[in-house]
Amino acid sequence: MKRILIVGGVAGGASAAARARRLSETAEIVMFERGEFVSFANCGLPYHIGGDIQDRSALLLQTPQSFKRRFNVDVRVFHDVIDIDKVGKTLLVRNLLTGEERRESYDQLLLSPGAAPIRPPFPGIDSPGVHTLRNIADMDRILAALHRDDPHHVTVVGGGFIGLEMMEALHQHKRDVTLLELSDQVMAPVDREMANMLHARIREEGIDLRLRTGLASIEILDGQPEQTVSTGLRLILSDGTRLDTGLLILAIGVKPETRLAAQAGLELGPRGGIKVDASMCTSDPFIYAVGDAVEETDFVTGESVLIPLAGPANRQGRIAADNMLGRSETYKKTQGTAICKLFDLAVASTGLNEKRLLQLGLPFEKAYVHPGSHAGYYPGAHPVSLKLLFAPDGKIYGAQAIGKDGVDKRIDVLAVAQRAGLTVFDLQDLELTYAPPFGSAKDVINMAGFVASNHLKGDTLLCHTAEVQACHPHQQVLDVRNGPELDQLGRIPGALHIPLDELRGRLNELPREKELLISCQMGLRGHVACRLLSQHGFKVKNLSGGFKTWQMAVMA
Amino acid sequence: MKRILIVGGVAGGASAAARARRLSETAEIVMFERGEFVSFANCGLPYHIGGDIQDRSALLLQTPQSFKRRFNVDVRVFHDVIDIDKVGKTLLVRNLLTGEERRESYDQLLLSPGAAPIRPPFPGIDSPGVHTLRNIADMDRILAALHRDDPHHVTVVGGGFIGLEMMEALHQHKRDVTLLELSDQVMAPVDREMANMLHARIREEGIDLRLRTGLASIEILDGQPEQTVSTGLRLILSDGTRLDTGLLILAIGVKPETRLAAQAGLELGPRGGIKVDASMCTSDPFIYAVGDAVEETDFVTGESVLIPLAGPANRQGRIAADNMLGRSETYKKTQGTAICKLFDLAVASTGLNEKRLLQLGLPFEKAYVHPGSHAGYYPGAHPVSLKLLFAPDGKIYGAQAIGKDGVDKRIDVLAVAQRAGLTVFDLQDLELTYAPPFGSAKDVINMAGFVASNHLKGDTLLCHTAEVQACHPHQQVLDVRNGPELDQLGRIPGALHIPLDELRGRLNELPREKELLISCQMGLRGHVACRLLSQHGFKVKNLSGGFKTWQMAVMA
C-alpha cells in the first residue's frame, strides 16, 4: 500500500489529494495543513471582507471531515511539517495544538506550501494594526480590527491583485483609503498606459492613490498630541511624508515558501521557487511540488517564472497526483492569464506585456482597439480597450484589456488563440457568437486582428503615442475627427484638423513633404484616412487606438 | 478606372463597398439597393419592435449620403437590379421610384442579395396582418399594425432566431403570444434536450408554445359572429385546431435570393444557394457573391451549407472586395457559431450538433456539464449547461450551451478551440481568466475537457439518458445524491440510492453482477463514485450531467 503525504491543504494540495483518491482506492493519503482550514476559497477572502460574500462559511469549501468522508483522506490541520528526510523518506511533523512531534514515512511526497506575503523589515513592521492577507485567520483579524478600532482611514500598500481587491473592500466599508504603490502603476501585468485607466477610476472613487510612493517605516501612535486618528499607526513614506492611519494592509507581493524544500536540499530555481520538471517532480524523484511555491515555465519564452495563481495550482495538483500514481502527464506551461475586478471595471491579461518584451529585447508590434462590448445600437454596450502584442510574423505575444463588460471573454479568446499557436491573421477569421446583446458581427477580437494584420501587411502602418509626442519636423499630426469631438474630448497639441469626410476635397491643404500621423478617436476613421491618403501619394501612419489611447498614455 | 457594381447594400454589400474603397481610391463603386435603406442593423429589428432599442434611427448605421461622403460610393436606393448580362458585363437596373430602366456596365460585380423570408403558399398567406421581418419597412409595418389594431393575441410561426426574438418582442408588448413550431423543438442549432430548457423557460413566461404544430391555412376574420378577436385572422393549424389571432409573424426560415444569379446562368449549389469558391467568386470570373445568398463550406464536414448569419456575411464582403481588387484572400469556412437571447437566458452553439452527427453517421461521443458561470461562493453565479460533441480521437465536433451568464464566453472559447484544431484533451489545459466574479479556477471549459478526456481514456465511461431509460436487466441505476436532494429535485425511477459519502461502507449492498449506471445531480459526484466503485471491481458508467441532464432529456 502506497503512502502519499501532502504538505499544504489548499488549492494544489487539496486538488492533488482528491485526484489521488480517484486514481487509487488503496493508497494511504495524509494531508498536513499548518492552519485550521483546508481547501478554503483564498481568492474569496477580500470579497468577504468587503461584504460581497456575506456568509463566511461559503469560503470553507471542504472540512477535514468532509474530505475524510468523500475521499478517505486523513487531513491533519494545525500540523506543521518541519523537516523532510529525503533519504529515510520521512517527514517530521509537529502538532501545533499539543506540541507533539512525530516522524511520518512516505512513499511519495507532495509539497504545496504556497507563498507567503512579503513583510519587509521596515521599522515597526510587527506593530499591531499591520496586516497581510493569506488565509481565513488573516481575514478574521482584519475584520475584527475594522470592527474594534473602527478606523476612519486605512492604508493599503501594493497595487497588485490583492492590494486592489483590499482597497475596494475597505472602500466598501466607507473608510478613507490610501493606496501606496512604489512603481509608477498599479496592476503590473498590464502596461502603464492601460493602468492609467485604472488610476483614473480609483481616483474617481475618492481613493488617495499615491504612485511612486512606498513605505519606509511604521510607528505606533499612542495618544501623542499630533496624532490625527484616535488609535493607529504613523507611516513614514518613501518621499518622507507622514501618513497617520488606523489600519495597514501590506500587499506588496508573495514569496514562495521554500524553507522545507531548501532545507531538504531540493533544487531551487533561478527565481527562488522550488524547481520542478513538467511532471511537477522536484530534484528528488519521490517528491513532487505544485502551486505558488514552484517555478513554472513561461508559455511564450520558456523562462522560469513565479506565477502565484489558482488555476495553475489546481491543474498542477491534478497532474502531480497523476504522476505519483504511475501516469505520465505533463503541465503545459503558464501564460499567466489573469483578471481583476476594480469597481465596475475588469482588467485582464494573458501572455507577455510590453515592459517584458522590452526587457527581453524581442522585436514586437502592438495594436490598440476600443470597440463596444456588443453592438452599439443595443443598450448597455461599453468599450473594451484592448492592447494586442505580437511578433513581426504575427505570433501572439500577449494581450491586455480593460472595460465594464466582456473583458474576460476577449482575454479568454486570446489566451486560447495564443495557446493554440494562432496568429493575428487568424484572429480576423474567428467566428464568435454574435447577436446584438452579446457581440458584434465584427467582434473586438476580429477588429484587433484586422488592425494588426493591416499593419503587418503594410496596408496601414501603425504609430503610437511616443512617436506622436516626439513628432519630428518631417512629421505632422492630422486629426480627422469632427470639430465637436475635438472641443468635447480634447486635442493633440500641434495637430492639423480635417474631418475624415472632408478629406478628399481638402488634400491640397496637406503638406506633401511630411509624413502624416493620423489620429481619430478610436483608430477606425484613422485607418480609413490612411488608406485614402496613401493612395493619393501621402506617407501616413495611423495612431493606433486614436486619441483615446493617446489620452491614456499621456495621463499623469 | 475599374467599375465595381454591388447588388445589395446591407451586411455583405456594404462591407465590400467600404473595403473596396479602402483598397482603391480610383475604382468607381456603385451600390444598388432595392429598399430605402443601406447598411441598416437587421439583427436589431426585433429589439426595436420589442422596445429594447428605443431609437429607430440607431438602426440606420449609414445613409447613402454618409456612404458617399466617407467612402465615395455611389449608393442608389430604390434601385432593383433585374438582369445580368454576363457576356456584355452589364446590369439592367430599374429605378423603382421612376420606373426608368438603365443598363450599367461593370468590370466586376458583387452579388449580396441576401435571403428572403419563406412564405409558403398557404391559403390566405397574403392576407393583411400576415408579416415577415427582413428590413426596416417590415419592422415599421409590424409596429404600425400593433399600434393600429392593438391585437391582444399575436402568433409567431417558427422557433428559430427571428421567431424567438419576435416572440419575446411581442411578449414585451404585453400581448398574448402563441408560438407555433412544426418540429419537436425550437432553436434547431441545438439538440432537443437542450431546447427543452428553452421550452420550459418560454412556457414559464406564459407563452402558448405549441411544438409539432404548423400552420395549414389563414382566413381573414371580418366581423363573423364566432370570432374571438376584434379584427384579425383565423389560423387553421396542422392538427386541425383553429386559432384566432390579431397579428401573424411568419419566421419559418429564409431562402437565398438566387433569381438574378440563376437567370444569368451562374452555378447554384446543392442547397440552392449561389455557388462560390473560397475567394467568393461565382462560376463567372467577374462576378462575386457573398452573404445569405451563397452556399458556404461547413468547417467540420466540408459540405455545402446555407448559414444566413451576419458575421460570415461581413467577413465574406471584405474578402470579396480584396479579391476583386487583385488580392488573394480566402474565406475560411463556417462553423455556424451563433447565439440568441431568450428572456434572461442565452443559448449558443458552434459546429455540428448531435442530430447532424447522427445523420452523417459519424462516430461521436458527448459530454454534459453544468458548472457555475463563476465561483459559487461569489454572488450571482448561474449554471452554464454545456454539451460537448467530439470524435473518439478527441476532435471537437461542436458545442451548445444555455444559461443566464457566461454562455457567449464559453461558446466563443470552444469555437476558437475547434477552429484551431484543439482536442478535448487540450481543453483541460486552457488557461482562462479567473477571479471569483468572472470564473472558476477550473472553468466550465476545463471541466468539460476533464469529463470528455476521462471518458476517452476509459477512466470514467459516460452513459446518457437513453441508456438509463432503456436500463437492461444486467444494469442498475445507482443514485449517489443525498436524501434531501432526491426528495426536492426528483428521482430516476428504479434507481438504487446510496449517498456518495456512504458508498465505501455500503459496497455490499450493490449487485456485483450488474453494470451500475451512476447518477448524481450534475455528474461530478457520479465521477467520484465511478472511480471508487471501479477500483472495487464494479463495472460502472457515469450518467453525464447527472439528474439535471436526465431531467432535460425526459421533459415533455
pLDDT of residue A308: 95
Work out the percent of chain A whose per-residue pLDDT is above 90.
96
Sheet architecture: strand order including A101-105: A79-85, A90-95, A101-105
One domain for residues A80 and A150: no
- A13-72: pLDDT as tens digits: 999 999 999 999 999 999 999 999 999 999 999 999 999 999 999 999 999 999 999 999
**Cell (9 digits) for B445:** 471549459
What's the CA gap between A221 and B240, in Å, rounded? 87
Residue type, B280: M
- Average pLDDT, rounded, for chain B: 96
Chain B, nearest residue to A430 by Cα: B416
B235 to chain A, closest Cα gap in Å: 31
**Could A441 and B43 be called an inter-chain contact, meaning their C-beta atoms sit closer than 8 Å?**
yes
Last residue of a domain, one of B404, B439, B456: B456
- pLDDT-derived band of residue B230, with 50, 70 and 90 as boundaries? low
Chain A, nearest residue to B503 by Cα: A70
Is position B125 within any domain? no
One domain for residues B452 and B350: yes
Number of A to B CB contacts under 8 A, please give it. 239
One domain for residues B295 and B234: no
**Cell (9 digits) for B553:** 432529456
**Could B441 and A313 be called an inter-chain contact, meaning their C-beta atoms sit closer than 8 Å?**
yes
- pLDDT-derived band of residue A555, with 50, 70 and 90 as boundaries? confident
Options A43, A281, A340, A471, the catalytic residue: A43
- Average pLDDT, rounded, for chain A: 96
What's the CA gap between B157 and B252, in Å, rounded? 6
Is position B270 within any domain? yes
Residue type, B423: T
One domain for residues B164 and B264: no
Last residue of a domain, one of A233, A252, A271: A252
Buried b (16+ CB within 10 A) or exposed e, B286-304: ebbbbbbbbbbbbbbbeeb
One domain for residues A373 and A450: yes
B18 to chain A, closest Cα gap in Å: 9
List, in sequence order, every residue forming a beta bridge with A519; answer none if it has no partner: A479
Asked if the model's pLDDT at residue A318 lies above 80, the reply is: yes
- Closest residue to A434, CB basis, from B299, B311, B429: B311
Is position B337 within any domain? no
- pLDDT-derived band of residue A273, with 50, 70 and 90 as boundaries? very high
Element (H, E) at B137: helix B136-149
- Residues of B annotated as catalytic are 43
One domain for residues B173 and B279: no
One domain for residues B247 and B263: no
Contact by Cβ (8 Å): B505, B494: no
Last residue of a domain, one of A409, A441, A456: A456
Is position A447 within any domain? yes
- pLDDT-derived band of residue B226, with 50, 70 and 90 as boundaries? low
- Closest residue to A377, CB basis, from B44, B71, B341: B44
Measured between beta carbons, the chain A residues lying within 8 angstroms of B499 are: none
Asked if the model's pLDDT at residue B225 lies above 80, the reply is: no
**Could B311 and A442 be called an inter-chain contact, meaning their C-beta atoms sit closer than 8 Å?**
yes
**Could B377 and A44 be called an inter-chain contact, meaning their C-beta atoms sit closer than 8 Å?**
yes
Asked if the model's pLDDT at residue B495 lies above 60, the reply is: yes
pLDDT of residue B555: 85
Q: Which of B125, B152, B154 is nearest to B142 (CA)?
A: B154
pLDDT of residue A221: 84
Chain A, nearest residue to B432 by Cα: A412
- B37-90: pLDDT as tens digits: 999 999 999 999 999 999 999 999 999 999 999 999 999 999 999 999 999 999
B104 to chain A, closest Cα gap in Å: 26
DSSP state for residue B7 in the 8-state scheme: E
A316 to chain B, closest Cα gap in Å: 10
- pLDDT-derived band of residue B264, with 50, 70 and 90 as boundaries? very high
Chain A, nearest residue to B72 by Cα: A504
**Cell (9 digits) for A218:** 511604521
CB count within 10 Å of CB A203 equals 12
pLDDT of residue B26: 97
For range A247-252, the mean pLDDT: 97
**Could B408 and A438 be called an inter-chain contact, meaning their C-beta atoms sit closer than 8 Å?**
yes
CB count within 10 Å of CB B513 equals 8
Measured between beta carbons, the chain B residues lying within 8 angstroms of A536 are: 25
For range A306-317, the mean pLDDT: 96
pLDDT of residue A424: 98
Asked if the model's pLDDT at residue B229 lies above 80, the reply is: no
One domain for residues B467 and B406: no
Measured between beta carbons, the chain B residues lying within 8 angstroms of A337 are: 431-434
A28 to chain B, closest Cα gap in Å: 14
One domain for residues A167 and A214: yes
**Could A528 and B70 be called an inter-chain contact, meaning their C-beta atoms sit closer than 8 Å?**
yes
Chain B, nearest residue to A438 by Cα: B408
One domain for residues B146 and B240: yes
- B454-475: pLDDT as tens digits: 999 999 999 999 999 999 999 9
Q: Which of B389, B401, B391, B128 is nearest to B245 (CA)?
A: B128
**Could A412 and B413 be called an inter-chain contact, meaning their C-beta atoms sit closer than 8 Å?**
yes
Asked if the model's pLDDT at residue B140 lies above 80, the reply is: yes
Contact by Cβ (8 Å): A13, A113: no
Is position A49 within any domain? no
Domain count, chain B: 4
**Could B434 and A311 be called an inter-chain contact, meaning their C-beta atoms sit closer than 8 Å?**
yes
- pLDDT-derived band of residue A278, with 50, 70 and 90 as boundaries? very high
Asked if the model's pLDDT at residue A285 lies above 60, the reply is: yes
pLDDT of residue B1: 86
Element (H, E) at A247: strand A247-250
**Could B412 and A435 be called an inter-chain contact, meaning their C-beta atoms sit closer than 8 Å?**
no
pLDDT of residue B340: 98
A377 to chain B, closest Cα gap in Å: 5
pLDDT of residue B352: 98
Is position A82 within any domain? yes
- pLDDT-derived band of residue A226, with 50, 70 and 90 as boundaries? low
- Closest residue to A378, CB basis, from B53, B161, B334: B53
Measured between beta carbons, the chain B residues lying within 8 angstroms of A528 are: 18, 22, 70-71
CB count within 10 Å of CB B80 equals 17
* All residues at 6 or more sequence positions from B92 whose CB lies less than 8 Å from its CB, including other chains: B81, B82, B83, B84, B85, B101, B102, B103
Measured between beta carbons, the chain A residues lying within 8 angstroms of B415 are: 430-433
- B281-294: pLDDT as tens digits: 999 999 999 999 99
Asked if the model's pLDDT at residue A336 lies above 90, the reply is: yes
- B83-137: pLDDT as tens digits: 999 999 999 999 999 999 999 999 999 999 999 999 999 899 999 899 999 999 9
CB count within 10 Å of CB A424 equals 27
**Could B430 and A416 be called an inter-chain contact, meaning their C-beta atoms sit closer than 8 Å?**
yes
One domain for residues A143 and A92: no
**Residue A501 belongs to a domain with what CATH number?**
3.40.250.10
Domain carrying residue B505: 462-554
Residue A447: C-alpha distances to residues A128, A425, B299 (Å):
52, 11, 22
pLDDT of residue B501: 97
A230 to chain B, closest Cα gap in Å: 34
For range A105-128, the mean pLDDT: 95
Question: What DSSP assignment string belongs to A384-430?
Answer: EEEEEEE-TT-BEEEEEEEESSSHHHHHHHHHHHHHTT-BHHHHTT-
**Could A416 and B411 be called an inter-chain contact, meaning their C-beta atoms sit closer than 8 Å?**
no
Residue type, A199: H
What's the CA gap between B473 and B500, in Å, rounded? 23
Asked if the model's pLDDT at residue B301 lies above 60, the reply is: yes
pLDDT of residue A303: 96
pLDDT of residue B116: 97
pLDDT of residue B182: 97
Site from B71, B432, B457 to mutate, A interface, most A CB atoms within 10 angstroms: B432
Is position B334 within any domain? no
Site from A40, A433, A446, A534 to mutate, B interface, most B CB atoms within 10 angstroms: A433
Burial (Cβ within 10 Å: 0-12, 13-18, ≥19) of residue B472: exposed
Could you tell me the sign of the dihedral formed by the alpha carbons of B131, B132, B138, B143, in that order? positive
- Closest residue to B437, CB basis, from A341, A379, A432: A341
Asked if the model's pLDDT at residue B265 lies above 80, the reply is: yes
pLDDT of residue B110: 98
One domain for residues A141 and A247: yes
Is position B263 within any domain? yes
Min mean pLDDT across A226-240, A445-459, B19-33, B149-163 is at A226-240
**Could A24 and B311 be called an inter-chain contact, meaning their C-beta atoms sit closer than 8 Å?**
no
Contact by Cβ (8 Å): B392, B365: yes
- A414-443: pLDDT as tens digits: 999 999 999 999 999 999 999 999 999 999
pLDDT of residue B556: 66
Sheet architecture: strand order including B130-131: B130-131, B247-250, B153-157, B176-180, B208-210
What's the CA gap between B60 and A381, in Å, rounded? 17
**Could A43 and B435 be called an inter-chain contact, meaning their C-beta atoms sit closer than 8 Å?**
yes
Q: Decide the pairing of beta strands B254-256 and B115-117.
A: antiparallel
Asked if the model's pLDDT at residue A130 lies above 90, the reply is: yes
- pLDDT-derived band of residue B231, with 50, 70 and 90 as boundaries? low
pLDDT of residue A231: 67
Place of cell 481568492: A43
**Residue B214 belongs to a domain with what CATH number?**
3.50.50.60
